[in-house]
Structure 1
Amino acid sequence: MTTTAPGTARPAAALSPVRRAPDNPAIESDAARIAFWETQAGRLDWVEGWHTAHTFEKPRRLDRSRDADTAESPEYTVPTIEWFAGGKLNAAANCLDRHVAAGRGDRVALHFEGEPGDRRTYTYAELLAEVSRAAHALEALGVIPGDRVVIYLPVIPETLVITLACARIGAVHSLVFGGFSAEALRFRIEDTGAKVLVTSDGQFRRGAAVPVKAAADAACAGDNAIEHVLVVARTGETDLPWTPGRDVWWHEALAAQPDAHAPPAFDAEHPLFIIYTSGTTGKPKGLVHTTGGYLVQTAYTHALLFDLVDDELAAVNDPARVDSTVHWCTADLAWVTAHTYEIYGPLLNGITQVIYEGTPASPHPGRHFEIIERYGVTHYYTAPTLIRSHIGNFPSGLPDTWDLSSIRLLGTVGESINPEAWRWFRREIGGDALPVVDTWWQSETGATIMSPRPHDSCFEPGADTAPKPGCATRAVPGVSTRVVDESGADAPDGVQGFVVVDRIGPSMARTVWGDPQRYLDSYWRAFGERGWFFSGDGGRRDADGDITLLGRVDDVINVSGHRLSTIELESALITHPDVVEAGSTPIADPLTGQAAIAYVVLTRAARHRDAAEVEAELRAHVAREIGPVARPARVIPVPEVPKTRSGKIMRRLLTQLYEGTPLGDTTSLQNPAAIAGIARIVGHPSAADDR
């Protein structure tokens, strides 16, 4: 590991265009699809080959008439999914050892930028040595294959190190956002039955050192299986609560360990990690992802979408693309986005990446652009909510303060991006010339399912077809999707329906930890007999066959029988120059059944205007953009809207705050302070006290 000084921006390499396979005709059949993924599995090093490439037993309706206790018996069987059964490999060895063995140990694996300005750089060889020491340290604490380790850390190198160390020894890791409450952490510790918790003394957030250890201790109180708490010294906190015999300093645990560790091989279906859903629809679900299939689809989709291959169906990366790439996925490491495209994907493909500890506006709104310039970032992959914050910070457009010429690809992930935010992103950061991979996927799918490609014809200079802002377009090779109605029939073009994955890929979550029935009920009950995974999202297919995502199907407002998408209302509001961000939601209405209300974050200038005038103007604006039926009953200016760490607006809370009803689970919020502010504005301050 080395400490670096500020660098200079590097021009992106001139690369040949990628050949597009528009409809993936070569892999339409199930046999061809499975053969395709077997080919892609060649991206990894396997200790033993598999005997069965894929097994899928879709849910089957049971004959309950033969069951005496029909009230309690299940109605369907739980689906069985396996990929590369019998194959054995090691996840960490595929991320590190093989690159070092191939003579690429001196390549930079990781540039770290701390919020206070401290920086560290790790080569692949240095990262391997640190992961090896951490693997030995975990084994010394009694961790064995199959044990669960909960990781409650900020975005720092130690988070990647301990994650890979778990994978190396076969422990199942579960990362938890470092800003979550003790209650949220406690739930995950108890639900996983974790043996070890890894945390820090504190973290840097918005210019301050925030204590963490006390919250970790509170989460460990009560009935759980925690034997040790491994503590990273990040902020230098001196007055630290400590439990002798249980608590262990990270630096002391690693100091005496050797820097070499022999990686054992694990079955392809060995659990790799448990990741919890955001809780936007209730109690978080612990989704289980296994090793072989997850790594195969992660390695391939990362290479495809982030410009590392010279053909969509290629199973080998272009060395020139790999060598010239500096990848930055801005997600917190606890989110699935980061698991796939910040931890495993970049390291599997042997590229250089950047991670940043702090918030985008600390200590100034241009911090992200400063980082892009410093490290010569070529791929900037971020969330729509962060893009909207850039718009709010730079309402007149991005100044030419920073050299962003190194960027050659933009990407978005998380909630569906509003077209206006998409246009700003490409115009201000991409110079109206760069491709935008607007990726659609979920924690459940493990990897991207639909996205434009980096070299789609619409992004080429002089193209006669324009890009489609906010449109996920089509499925990546090896999977397929469709938009259907409630009966499962294909919805007509232009008509909103349910988005299903009718051919799943290897990275699909296998179950919900400890609750397979919930896995069935949540994702397979609606269309499982057809073998289709129900995403819970709504979408609309256009005449070209491209799909635009419209948000969760439960994020629909039914006004006098007219179904309005919350995403469409929000997109209409964001086209108004006074609006930076919007969250729309339904409320009960005695006349129309439901009415739409919207919460908006205004520009600095608009905040000083007459509130009633702004509200009337925005209500009329929505009516013009969509139609009179979509006119919100209220438009309420707020400082911020409540969001999960991945940028999803928690619309359920917006309704509950307005109506003054109990809020339920709020543990996944990245900005819990927003709740009290909105509650005061809408006149239900006690609602914030019910959390």
Structure 2
Amino acid sequence: MSTQPPLLDQPLIPPSDALRRQAPVTPQEAERLKALPPTEYWAEMASELEWDERWTKILDGELGDFRYFVGAKGNVSVNCLDRHAEKTPDKVALHYEREDGLTETWTYQQLTTETARFAAVLEDMGVQKGDRVSLLLSNIPEAFIAIHACYRIGAVYSVIFAGFSAAAVRDRLEDARPKVVIVADGTLRRGKVVALKSVLTEARRGIDSIEHVIVINRLNSDVTQQPDEQGCNEHDWADLMARTRRLAAPVMLEANEPGFIIYTSGTTSKPKGLVHSGLGFLVGTYANVKWSLNLRPEDNYWCTADVGWLTSPIFALVGGMAHGVTQVLYEGSIDTPSPSRPYELVEKYGVNKIFTAPTALRMLRRAGQSALAGRDLSKVELISLVGEPLDPETWHWTADTFGAFVNNTYGQTETGTAWASAIVGATDTKAGSCGEALPGYRAEVVGEDGQPVAAGQLGVLTLTEPFPCLARTVWGSSERYHETYFSEFPGRYASADAAMLDEDGQLWVTGRIDDVMNVSGHRIGTMELEAALITHPAVSEAAVVAQSDELRGAVPVAFVVPRAGAWEGRQLSEELAEAIVAGVGKYARPAAVYVVPTLPRTRSGKIMRRLLRDLLEHGEVRGDMSSLENPDALEVVLGHIRM
């Protein structure tokens, strides 16, 4: 069994020599940037991008109601496409590959031209600045084209995750009220066709704002285009593009005008449509990618995120493209047709920098070292992560397997960036931590009274000053925006995440504040318990949730997926309970450890812990299940609970 030290005892890990040599700044310069007033820092970052008009004031207002780069005008697509196409038109922008082996290569010039052409298509349909365009797409090149076409003309886009049910898609269409919807006929997922057009057809019935549906035929489906009973016209993407010769000129937008709406999936059935400004988001993601990945023109980079989650706009669609890098775009499940597929792609495209999620790494680890056989991973220098707490065991496995520096980060859909991170090549990290707050952000961990807590103490993570990429409102409900994020601690943005800062200033985010439990007077987050479980050689994945207890206030309950061939049954449950006692303390002994073959998870692989809480407390799920990929797992887990 591993003997990794407890979370807060992890040593500082310096950047690798290779990353240190290519670092965007020196350690001294990094400290200077952190010390700058946020407004001065953001002005420096914004100055590295192209603007049609400069700002008259950097910041106006305060958290909850502010404007950044007041009066400045520019265009996101110009910064992500045109300026690179002008300098290096033949540089590869995208290496696209699909699960079944289909490949495409797109240069910056090709991508820019097709984006401008599709922007003209939208204009010819009557789409104007501020009109909404919804997209039900997977990881295909047309997603990049359609999104940047919206940026080009000032349309407010909203990407809907391709794994959603018709009911979940409908919720988002009803809220955004789009004029145009863009949909692929289908996508591939673990060898199966996932129909998207039929889902949209069911979801959009009765939504009279939709005037046009554009269908991208990626799987050669027999899709007919015809007006429906509401007069909505369906069009074939390829036909529209073939008939359109005009290239739309970019519209110069004010820095605070809305760029897109992205919906969160919460504990209720009504998703929140968070509104991000277009150019504010650009500045934030450009800086985020610079520090968390240090993407350079010579890099070959793979962001594994689905286009339907904000990780993709931050680190691929906008932040990645703003740096003019060559990217790998993969459609499908990365472990199909075999667990060796990710390693094959890394070798094939000479990938040296990767952005992914802890869940993906745990999936690779579970597959075993045989999947690596014969694969050359020597070019990989950096693996950066976001999405959920990262246990030290997985951090070290990743570093050893790839021979790369591992940079875990933290951010939220609301913040528009992974704002906690190492500055790659210039600052240290710890195995499992989220690094430090990047320049331009001011973070504090506070107690229930709103006052900062001491180092090493668990509290609520808050941000105390505005930054350009923070969501500006909830679509159609400013009251909900203020109530959700600014009412609990006035003057602060409340993340609803539990966290602690250690003596070295490293940030540890342990999960949602709902996952913090008070066990016999001890406050503890589930991350520490899960980290103790992952050290056991029989454990592949672990999720711990709190269950109410009359005597102790709350007790931890663990769900564990064993490694292939691991021993099963009561003996393993008892051993794992002892692993938590050994790693955390007797007070944290779980009330139960359920050894299960699967866990409910999103399509991106995150374990849905709130659904596990529902099953424990109510014997059924009462929250939003729109992000759930494997509904069958709920019955499996519930069966183990009832045994």
TM-score if structure 1 supplies the norm length?
0.86
Do the aligned partners of residues 185 and 457 (structure 1) sit closer, same or farther apart at CA in structure 2, a change above 3 Å counting?
Answer: closer
Deviations 1:82-134 (A, max 9, x none): 11111111111111112222x31111111101111010010000001111121
**Match for 1:149 among 114, 130, 133?**
133
Deviations 1:141-163 (A, max 9, x none): 22111111111111111111111
Contact kept? 2:34, 2:438, Cα under 8 Å: no
SS at match of 2:464: strand
SS at match of 2:117: helix
Matched, 1:298 2:282: no
Cα distance in 2 between the residues matched to 1:26 and 1:114: 41
Matched, 1:261 2:225: no
Paired residue type of 1:672: P
Contact kept? 1:391, 1:397, Cα under 8 Å: no
Cα distance in 1 between the residues matched to 2:78 and 2:435: 35
* Root mean square deviation, CA, Å: 2.1
Equivalent residue number for residue 490 of structure 2: 528
Paired residue type of 1:57: E
Cα distance in 2 between the residues matched to 1:208 and 1:82: 46
Equivalences for 1:2-41 in 2 at 5 Å? 15-17=21-23, 18-21=25-28, 24-25=31-32, 28=35, 32-41=37-46
SS at match of 1:229: strand
Do the aligned partners of residues 350 and 154 (structure 1) sit closer, same or farther apart at CA in structure 2, a change above 3 Å counting?
Answer: same
Equivalent residue number for residue 610 of structure 2: 652
Contact kept? 2:30, 2:423, Cα under 8 Å: no
Instruction: Report how far residue 596 of structure 1 moved.
Output: 1.6
Do the aligned partners of residues 399 and 371 (structure 1) sit closer, same or farther apart at CA in structure 2, a change above 3 Å counting?
Answer: closer
**Match for 1:164 among 128, 143, 148?**
148
Equivalences for 1:156-195 in 2 at 5 Å? 156-195=140-179
Instruction: Report how far residue 622 of structure 1 moved.
Output: 1.1
Cα distance in 2 between the residues matched to 1:22 and 1:649: 39
Equivalent residue number for residue 513 of structure 1: 475
- Identity, % of aligned pairs? 39
Equivalent residue number for residue 636 of structure 1: 594
Equivalent residue number for residue 66 of structure 1: none
Matched, 1:349 2:309: no
Equivalent residue number for residue 437 of structure 1: 407
SS at match of 1:24: helix
Matched, 1:219 2:178: no
Cα distance in 2 between the residues matched to 1:669 and 1:130: 34
Contact kept? 1:298, 1:344, Cα under 8 Å: yes
Cα distance in 1 between the residues matched to 2:189 and 2:338: 13
SS at match of 2:142: helix
* Unpaired stretches in structure 2, ≥5 consecutive residues: 1-17
Cα distance in 1 between the residues matched to 2:314 and 2:508: 23
Cα distance in 1 between the residues matched to 2:641 and 2:242: 54
Matched, 1:428 2:401: yes
Do the aligned partners of residues 404 and 23 (structure 1) sit closer, same or farther apart at CA in structure 2, a change above 3 Å counting?
Answer: closer
Cα distance in 2 between the residues matched to 1:140 and 1:259: 10
Equivalent residue number for residue 274 of structure 2: 287
Contact kept? 1:130, 1:259, Cα under 8 Å: no
Contact kept? 2:265, 2:624, Cα under 8 Å: no
Cα distance in 2 between the residues matched to 1:673 and 1:362: 20
Matched, 1:80 2:61: no
Cα distance in 1 between the residues matched to 2:438 and 2:568: 48
Equivalent residue number for residue 334 of structure 2: 360
Paired residue type of 2:385: T
Contact kept? 1:556, 1:565, Cα under 8 Å: yes
Deviations 1:355-376 (A, max 9, x none): 1001121001011111111111
Equivalent residue number for residue 687 of structure 1: none
* Unpaired stretches in structure 1, ≥5 consecutive residues: 1-11, 59-78, 309-321, 459-466, 685-691
Equivalent residue number for residue 471 of structure 1: 433
Contact kept? 1:436, 1:452, Cα under 8 Å: no
Contact kept? 1:398, 1:428, Cα under 8 Å: no
Cα distance in 1 between the residues matched to 2:453 and 2:45: 32
Paired residue type of 2:249: A
Equivalent residue number for residue 53 of structure 1: 58
Cα distance in 1 between the residues matched to 2:388 and 2:340: 23
Do the aligned partners of residues 574 and 325 (structure 1) sit closer, same or farther apart at CA in structure 2, a change above 3 Å counting?
Answer: same
Do the aligned partners of residues 505 and 239 (structure 1) sit closer, same or farther apart at CA in structure 2, a change above 3 Å counting?
Answer: closer
Equivalent residue number for residue 95 of structure 1: 80
Contact kept? 1:278, 1:644, Cα under 8 Å: no
Instruction: Report how far residue 571 of structure 1 moved.
Output: 1.3
Cα distance in 2 between the residues matched to 1:240 and 1:670: 29
Cα distance in 1 between the residues matched to 2:56 and 2:604: 38
Paired residue type of 1:225: S
Deviations 1:517-549 (A, max 9, x none): 1111111112233xx211111111211122211
Cα distance in 2 between the residues matched to 1:295 and 1:457: 24
Cα distance in 2 between the residues matched to 1:471 and 1:13: 19
Matched, 1:576 2:546: no
Instruction: Report how far residue 682 of structure 1 moved.
Output: 2.8
Equivalent residue number for residue 556 of structure 1: 516
Instruction: Report how far residue 438 of structure 1 moved.
Output: 0.9
Paired residue type of 1:681: H
Do the aligned partners of residues 501 and 627 (structure 1) sit closer, same or farther apart at CA in structure 2, a change above 3 Å counting?
Answer: same
Do the aligned partners of residues 420 and 113 (structure 1) sit closer, same or farther apart at CA in structure 2, a change above 3 Å counting?
Answer: same
Contact kept? 1:132, 1:165, Cα under 8 Å: yes
Paired residue type of 2:528: E
Equivalent residue number for residue 238 of structure 2: 251
Paired residue type of 2:484: S
Equivalences for 1:380-419 in 2 at 5 Å? 380-394=354-368, 396=369, 399-419=372-392
Do the aligned partners of residues 160 and 484 (structure 1) sit closer, same or farther apart at CA in structure 2, a change above 3 Å counting?
Answer: same
Equivalent residue number for residue 561 of structure 2: 601
SS at match of 2:634: helix
Equivalent residue number for residue 4 of structure 1: none
Deviations 1:568-607 (A, max 9, x none): 111111111111111111223343332221111111111x
SS at match of 1:323: coil
SS at match of 1:472: coil
Equivalent residue number for residue 501 of structure 2: 541
Contact kept? 1:55, 1:82, Cα under 8 Å: yes
Equivalent residue number for residue 75 of structure 1: none
What is the count of residue pairs matched by the alignment? 621
Deviations 1:629-685 (A, max 9, x none): 21111111223222334544322210212331442210022333322332333349x
Paired residue type of 2:470: M
Cα distance in 2 between the residues matched to 1:575 and 1:506: 40
Contact kept? 1:327, 1:351, Cα under 8 Å: yes
Paired residue type of 2:421: S
TM-score if structure 2 supplies the norm length?
0.92
Equivalent residue number for residue 547 of structure 2: 587
Do the aligned partners of residues 256 and 240 (structure 1) sit closer, same or farther apart at CA in structure 2, a change above 3 Å counting?
Answer: closer
Contact kept? 2:30, 2:426, Cα under 8 Å: no
Equivalent residue number for residue 463 of structure 1: none
Instruction: Report how far residue 25 of structure 1 moved.
Output: 4.4
Equivalent residue number for residue 106 of structure 1: 90
**Match for 1:453 among 423, 435, 457?**
423
Cα distance in 1 between the residues matched to 2:621 and 2:327: 43
Paired residue type of 1:670: E
Contact kept? 2:343, 2:372, Cα under 8 Å: no
Instruction: Report how far residue 14 of structure 1 moved.
Output: 10
Contact kept? 2:225, 2:234, Cα under 8 Å: no
Instruction: Report how far residue 232 of structure 1 moved.
Output: 0.8
